[in-house]
Amino acid sequence: MIGAILIIPLLIVRYGLPLFVDKSAMKRAAFTPPVEGREKIAFRVYLPSTFAMLIYMFFIKIIVESYLFCIGVSVSTIGLLLYAISFINFGKPSKQGINTRGLYKYSRNPIYVAFFIYFLGCVLITQSLILLALLIVYQTSVHWIILSEERWCIQQFGNEYIQYMKRVRRYL
């Protein structure tokens, strides 16, 4: 069985769920704030590494005959559930426009965290070191993207976002 089937639930959540929650959520989720300095390099790595992970899934196999399969399915399921909840929460920001409810009470970036968890499960399901390497490259670039998003949020929301940053961790 090829790993590409693991992409289907992820794409349904990413592109289907926001349409049911709030159509403007899709547009907001696609927004990329301006990048500066090292963030520009990270952005040049971010998109290709994302596509590389998705495309690579078509070339690897799911390895069912392993205890890692069960662990991977569990990890991916948790990641997918968190991903879905994150998008639902993302679609319902406060009146000021800041997402602080749901998983956003615990992480400023639950969508990125959930995506990482989901693909970590995929790494276990496929036992692919190449997929693990791509995930590490992706996640490293995401950190710099998050820094640019936080800078933009501070510019847009000011002290309210700074106070949110003091209360809630960046990741977990």
* 33 found inside a domain: no
pLDDT digit string (tens) for 82-98?
999 999 998 888 887 89
Q: Is residue 30 part of a domain?
A: no
pLDDT in tens, 41-64: 999 999 999 999 999 999 999 999
Q: What is the pLDDT of residue 18?
A: 78
For residue 145, give its domain range: 3-23+57-167
Domain for residue 43, yes or no? no
For the chain, which ranges sit under pLDDT 70? none
Confidence (pLDDT) at 9: 95
**How much of the chain is helix, strand and coil, in % rounded to 5?**
75, 0, 20
Helix (H, G, I), strand (E, B) or coil at 2: strand
pLDDT of 115 reads 97
